[in-house]
Amino acid sequence: MAVLLKINHDGPVTSLGFVTGSSLLLAGVGSYLRVFDYKKSELLSSFSIFSRNKIHGISIHDNVVVLYGGRNLSVLALDQLTSGDSQRDLTSFQKSCDDLIIDIQFSSNYQTDNLIYILTAHNIVIGVSIFLSDSIDLKIQFTKSCSEKSLLYSGSIKVTQDSAIVCAGTVLSGILLWDLNSGKILHNLVGHEGSIFGVKFNQKGDKLVSCSDDRSIKLWDFTTGENLATGWGHTARIWYLSFFNNDTQVLSASEDLTMKIWNINIEPGSDSNSNKFSLNYTQNVESHIGKHIWSCDIQQDQLLSVTGGNDGKICLHDISTKFAKNSKSKQFSYSLNQLSLNYEIFNKNDVIKNFVNFNDKGLLLTTSLGNLFLIKDNFQKFELIKKESNLNNQFSIINHQFQNNHIVILTSTTADQLILKFDNDLNIIEKKLLNILTDVNDYPYFKITNTFKFSNDNNDDNDNEKEKEKEILNILFESPNPNNPLIVRTLNLKDLSYSNDPENMWFLPKPQTEKRFIITCIEYSIQKKWLFIGSRFTNLVIYDLSKNPHQMQAWKKISKGDSISNLNIVKCFNDTLLLRIFIKDGIYFLAKITENLNYNNEINEINKIINGFNNLNIDNEKSLFQIEILLENKIAKGGFLEGAFERKSDLKFDTLISKDHENIKSNDLILYGFKSNYFYLYNETKNYEIWNNMCGGSHRSWKLFIDSDDTQIKGKFMYTKSNSIIISSFGYEDKLKFKEPVLLEGTHGREIRDLSISKKSYKFSNSNSKEILYKHLVSVSEDNSLKLGRFFSNGSIKNIWFERIHVSGLQKVKFINEEFICSSAAREEFFIWRVQDLEIVDKPLIYCYDKLKPFSSNPDLRVMDFDTILIFDNKNLVGFIFATVYSDSSIRVFYYDLKLKQFNLIISDFYKTCCVMNSKFIINDKLNKIYLCISSTDGHLVIYDVENTSKEEGELEVKKLSKMVMRKELHQNSIKSMVVENKSCEYGSGNEYYIITGGDDNGLILSRFSIDVKTGEENIEIETLIRDGASSTITSISLSGKRKDDLKIRLIVTSVDQIVRLYEIDQEKNEMVLIDKEYTTVADTGCSSICEFEDKEYCVIGGTGMSVWKINNDE
C-alpha cells in the first residue's frame, strides 16, 4: 500500500462541458474530472482521468464522453460518471496519441459509424472508431491533412452533414479553413497579429469568430473569407469564443478575468452582400481573481454560461436575463421634463435632488427649487404636492426621513419641517408644518445642513426596546457651525409632534477636530443606547446616551481615506457590540466595542479624542469605549465602497475520495459601491461580481433596496441621472436556473508562494449536530494576497478571507502561535496578523495587527524569510523575537512588544553580498544558547552564535552579529529550503540537531549540528548526501510531527518536477532514505505544510493550486 495517498485537489479549471438535456456539468480540474448538478449546485462525484496531463477538452454525444489533454484521451460512458458505484480512479481508460490534441468532435453519423475526428497540433485529423462493449476499444480509420503542415495553437472542427470543415488556428497569425474529405484549403484568413488562440463556427456554418495575441475578436464570412467586423475591448489574451442566442451574440473569456458579451450588429445595405457588420460588447462580468479564465461553455437552450479560471473557481452566469438582445428590460425611468408637462410652476433650472421609495408602490421626489412630486398607483399616476401659499422654504437640500408607516419628513435649512403622512394608496391623510427650534432657545440661528434618523434596522436582540422605538423617531440635526452642538429631538409618530421633555431633547457636543466635523453616516444601538457617527476625514464618534449627562468618545483619522461611508451593527449582546466600519476609499473593519468599566470621566476628559486605531492597546485604558479590531481588509474592486449586507449561504465541502458532502450554514458578505461609472454588488466571501449598473458614477442621489430572501439576492437600485430618476431591479427572474452561481470556490488566482497550517484544531457542528474538526490554513500568492481558510479533517479546504493589505510579491507566511501569523514580501513588507475564532461570529477573523516600517525611503528589498521566538512573562505572552533576512544579504533581529505594538531593532548586520534564502533559530535551553542558522544563494549553510538578548526597559542597543560559528558549503547553488529538527535525547546527547537542506542543484542533504557540553565547541557533519534528491530544484521541505516507532523522522520534499517525495531519517544510523514518491498535478510546486488530526497526518502542497495528501504512517 502506498504511503502517500492523494485525497483532494484544487487548481485551474481547464475545461468545462454541459450535458445537453440534463442538469449535469463536467469540469476538468487538472487531471481530475468533477461532475456537478448545476441546478442544485452540488458536486456529485470526482474522478482521476489522466496520470499527468490536464483535461483540456470535453466532447459529449449522448452517453459517450471523450476527454482529452496533451497527448492523452479517454473515452467513457456517461453512466460511469453518474453512477454512485463508479470507481474513482479511471486512469486505466486513458489512451495515447502521437501528437498534441487540439480538438475532438463526433461525426454527423456517429450513431452508425461510431467515428470521432481528432485534430492534432500539426494540422492532421485522425478518424477513430469507438467500440463500446465490456471494454472500450479505439481503432484508427484514417489520417487526413491539407497541404499546409502548420503548427497549430488552437483549432476546431465544424461537422456538417456530408463532411467536416477544419478551422486551424496557427502560431503564425493565419487561420486555415480546409475540407476534411478533399483536403482542399478553402480559405487562409489573414488579419490577426500573433498566434491564434481560438476559432469557432456559428451553428449555421456561414460565419466564424476568431481571437489572437492581438487581443481582438474578428468576425468572418465563411463563403467569401471576408473579415466582416473587428471587436476591441479585452486588455489581455482571449482564451474562449462562442456564438449564442441564435448566432446573434458572441461570448468571450480572457486572461484579463472578464467574460464579455458582444452584439453582432447589422446595418442593412442595398442587398445582403452589402450589409455592414460591427461587434460591440454590451457588458463584461468579473467572477475570478488573479489571472486567466481558462475555460468556458454555453448551454444554448437555457442561455446559461459557465466559466472556469486559474483560481480554480467555477461560476455560472445567466446570460439570458442580463445580456440577451431581446430580453425584457429591468430598468425604467422618469424625467423631470416628463413629470412637469402639465405644471407651469417648474423652472428650467429645476433638477431632481432626492426621493423616497414607498415600498415599491410609488415615489416622492424633491427638487432643487423645493417642489414635491408624487408618483403613485404603481408608478402610473403623477401628482404635484402643493405647498401653502405662505410657505416659501425649499425642502430640497435635506435628506428625507422615512418610516415604514408612510411618514415622510422634509427639512429646510431654516429648521422648518414639512411632515406628510400617507395611506396605503399614497393619498395624503395628514400634513403638518413644524419648526424644530421653537423650543430651543439657546440656538435661535441654528442653520441645518443635514438630518439623520436613528435607524431601527439593526441587529440588536432586544425586541421589547424595538417595539417601543416604533412609536417614536429620533432625528439628529447638524449645523455647519463647529461651535453648535448636534441637536437630537424625538418625534412622536402618533400625533406627529416633538416632545418638549428635556430627556427627549439632547445637545451633543461635536468633537473639536482640526478640520470641520461633517457627518456622513450614523448607526444606533437601541439596546445599548449608543450612537455611532462617522464623518469626513474618517473620524468616528460614539455617544453613550444611556448616561446623564451624555458622554462622548472620538477617534480621529482611523484610516487612510476620505470619509466613513457607512456603519453597520452586526451583533449586540451582553456587554459586547460588533460594528462594521466602511471607509469610502475601499477599506472595511469589523470592530468589537465594549464599555470601559474603569473609565474615569474627570481624569480622562483630556482623552476625548484619540488619534486613530494605531495604539488601541494603550488608548483603550483611558477611553470611554474599548475597541478591538477583529477584521480589516481592502476591496478588490477599487473605487468607492458604500456598504455591505449579509446573505445566508451553505458551506459545502468534500474530497476526491469521499462521497460524503457536509453542509454548514454560513453567511456571505455582500459589498456594494461604485467603480468608475458603474454601481456594483460584489460577493466578498466568494469573490465574484453579482450585478452591476452603468449609472454614471457616484456623484448623484441614489438608494439601494435589498429584499429579504434566503434563496437569492434581489432588490432595486434607484438613482438620478440627467434630471431623471431611474429604477433598476435585479434578481426578480421568474425561474432560477441554478441555486448558487459558484459551484467551486477554488484557491488563489496566481501561484501560491507559501502556506502554513495551525497546530490547534477547532470544531463546530453541522446541521445534523455532527462535530467537524478543522484547522486554520493561511496561504500567500503572487497576486499579493493572503488567504485565510479552514482545512477540514476530511482533507477539504474552504477559503474564508481574501486579504489584500500587501502591495508586493509575497515570499513567506507562518503561524507563530495559534493567534498570530507573520508574512513577508518585497518592498521590505513584514506584517503581523492576528487570527481569532470566536463563538459570536460564524467564521474566523483576521486583522493586520502591525507592520514593520521599511528602513529605506524607497524600499526595494525582499524579506526572504523569518523565524520567531516567543517571549513570556509569568506564562503570559508579552512579545516576540524576529530574525528577518533580506535579498541584499541583510540580517536583522527585532524584539516586538505586543502591548506597545513596537518593533525594537536588536541586531543589524550583513552576511555577504548574496541573497539570504532561509533563517532558523536553534535554541539550546541546557546551555542557554541561541543560534541563528541561515542559508543563501551561494550554497553555504552559516550558523551564528546570537547573544541571548532579554527584554529590558528602554531602548535596546543595536548590535552586530556575534561570531560566525561555522560556514559550510553544502550545495552548488542556492539553498532553496531548510528545516531544523532536534535529535532525540534517546539517540544522542540532546545537544544535536538535524539540518535538512534542498537546493537548486537537485541535492538533498542531511547535516548534523552538535554542541559539546564540556567545551562548548560546535561542529557540523554531513550524514547523508543525496545528489539526485529530486530531478529539479527542491522547493520545500516539511517535517512530519509524528515519529514512526519513536525512531524515524519523516519529511515531505517537493520540487519543480511535480514529484512529492517522502523521506525517512533513522536517528540511530543518522541516515536518510526515500520511502515513497507520487506525482502531483499542482504545477509550479513551491511549498508544503504538514498537520495532524488526531491519529491522521496530512500534507498540503501549494503551487498553481493545492493538493492534499494523507501520510500513511502505518506503512
Mean pLDDT confidence for 832-858: 92
Q: Are 772 and 703 found together in one domain? A: no
Taking the alpha carbons of 640, 643, 649, 654 in that order, is the dihedral positive or negative? Answer: positive
The pLDDT score that the predictor gives to residue 320 is 83
Say if CB 290 and CB 309 are below 8 A apart: yes
Return the CA Rg of the chain: 34
The rounded distance, in Å, linking the Cα atoms of 648 and 708 is 10
What cell does 493 get?
Answer: 409618530
The rounded distance, in Å, linking the Cα atoms of 8 and 227 is 46
Say if CB 962 and CB 955 are below 8 A apart: no
Looking at the domain assignment, is residue 784 inside a domain? yes
Q: Are 618 and 723 found together in one domain? A: no
Nearest Cα to Cα of residue 478 among 544, 433, 522: 522
Looking at the domain assignment, is residue 888 inside a domain? no
Q: What is the 3-state secondary structure (H, E, C) of 351-407?
A: CEEEEEECCCCCEEEEECCCCEEEEECCCCEEEEECCCCCCCCCCCCCCCEEECCCE
What cell does 253 get?
Answer: 473569456
Residue 167 has pLDDT above 60, yes or no: yes
The rounded distance, in Å, linking the Cα atoms of 976 and 954 is 38
Condensed to tens digits (0 to 9), the pLDDT of residues 746-791 reads 999 999 999 999 999 998 776 666 788 999 999 999 989 999 999 9
Q: Are 771 and 690 found together in one domain? A: no
Read off φ and ψ for residue 1017, nearest 5 degrees: -75, 135
The rounded distance, in Å, linking the Cα atoms of 886 and 898 is 24
Looking at the domain assignment, is residue 176 inside a domain? no
DSSP bridge partners of 664: 651
Mean pLDDT check: name the lowest of 502-516, 645-659, 912-926, 1050-1064: 645-659
Say if CB 413 and CB 395 are below 8 A apart: no
The pLDDT score that the predictor gives to residue 948 is 53
Percent of the chain scoring above 90 in pLDDT: 56
Residue 840 has pLDDT above 50, yes or no: yes
The pLDDT score that the predictor gives to residue 1094 is 82
Q: Is 493 left (phi over 0), alpha (psi -120 to 50) or beta?
A: alpha
Read off φ and ψ for residue 112, nearest 5 degrees: -105, -40
Instruction: DSSP for 592-659, please give it.
Output: EEEE-TT--TTTTGGGSEEETTTTHHHHGGGSSEEEEEEEEEE-SS-SEEEEEEEEEEEEEE--SS--
Say if CB 218 and CB 199 are below 8 A apart: no
Mean pLDDT, all residues of the chain: 87
Q: Are 827 and 790 found together in one domain? A: yes
Mean pLDDT check: name the lowest of 20-29, 211-220, 757-766: 757-766
The pLDDT score that the predictor gives to residue 962 is 82
What cell does 455 get?
Answer: 435607524
Domain that holds residue 839: 747-856
Read off φ and ψ for residue 946, nearest 5 degrees: -90, 125
Instruction: Please state the pTM of the whole predicted model.
Output: 0.90
Query: Which amino acid is residue 343, in one-letter code?
Result: Y
Q: What's the domain count of the chain?
A: 3
Cell match 394608496: residue?
Answer: 425
Q: Are 720 and 619 found together in one domain? A: no
Q: Is 460 left (phi over 0), alpha (psi -120 to 50) or beta?
A: beta
Q: Are 756 and 844 found together in one domain? A: yes
The rounded distance, in Å, linking the Cα atoms of 3 and 1050 is 11
The pLDDT score that the predictor gives to residue 385 is 82
The rounded distance, in Å, linking the Cα atoms of 110 and 624 is 78
Q: Are 754 and 827 found together in one domain? A: yes
Query: Which amino acid is residue 930, in one-letter code?
Result: I
The rounded distance, in Å, linking the Cα atoms of 906 and 887 is 20
Looking at the domain assignment, is residue 228 inside a domain? no
Q: Are 829 and 771 found together in one domain? A: yes
The rounded distance, in Å, linking the Cα atoms of 164 and 698 is 53
Q: Are 718 and 779 found together in one domain? A: no
The widest CA-to-CA distance across the chain, in whole angstroms, is: 105
Mean pLDDT check: name the lowest of 393-407, 495-509, 658-672, 742-756: 393-407
Q: Are 688 and 765 found together in one domain? A: no
Mean pLDDT confidence for 884-906: 95
Final residue in a domain of this structure, among 824, 856, 888: 856
Instruction: DSSP for 948-1000, please give it.
Output: -PPP-SSPPPPB----EEEEEE--SS-EEEEEEEEPPGGGS-S-EEEEEEEET
The pLDDT score that the predictor gives to residue 444 is 66
**Which residues touch 566 (CB under 8 Å, ≥6 apart)?**
521, 534, 580, 582, 642, 643, 644
Looking at the domain assignment, is residue 724 inside a domain? yes
Condensed to tens digits (0 to 9), the pLDDT of residues 250-291 reads 999 999 999 999 999 998 876 767 789 999 988 888 899 999
Looking at the domain assignment, is residue 1014 inside a domain? no
Say if CB 587 and CB 636 are below 8 A apart: no
CA distances from 53 to 70, 78, 1097 (A): 6, 21, 28
Q: Are 629 and 689 found together in one domain? A: no
Q: Are 658 and 624 found together in one domain? A: no
Condensed to tens digits (0 to 9), the pLDDT of residues 492-508 reads 888 888 888 877 788 99
Final residue in a domain of this structure, among 808, 836, 856: 856
Q: In residues, how long is the chain?
A: 1115
Looking at the domain assignment, is residue 880 inside a domain? no
Looking at the domain assignment, is residue 624 inside a domain? yes
Nearest Cα to Cα of residue 347 among 366, 367, 328: 367
- Kindly state the helix (H) or strand (E) to which residue 555 belongs, with its residue range: strand 551-556
Nearest Cα to Cα of residue 322 among 697, 690, 715: 690
The rounded distance, in Å, linking the Cα atoms of 804 and 785 is 5
CA distances from 375 to 337, 357, 426, 704, 883 (A): 14, 10, 9, 19, 68
Helix (H, G, I), strand (E, B) or coil at 165: strand
List the helix and strand counts (H, then E) for the chain: 5, 86
What cell does 612 get?
Answer: 486613530
Cα 377 versus chain centre, distance:
43
Cα 829 versus chain centre, distance:
21
The pLDDT score that the predictor gives to residue 328 is 41
Cα 56 versus chain centre, distance:
25
Query: Which amino acid is residue 48, in one-letter code?
Result: S
Q: How far apart are the first and last CA of the chain?
A: 7
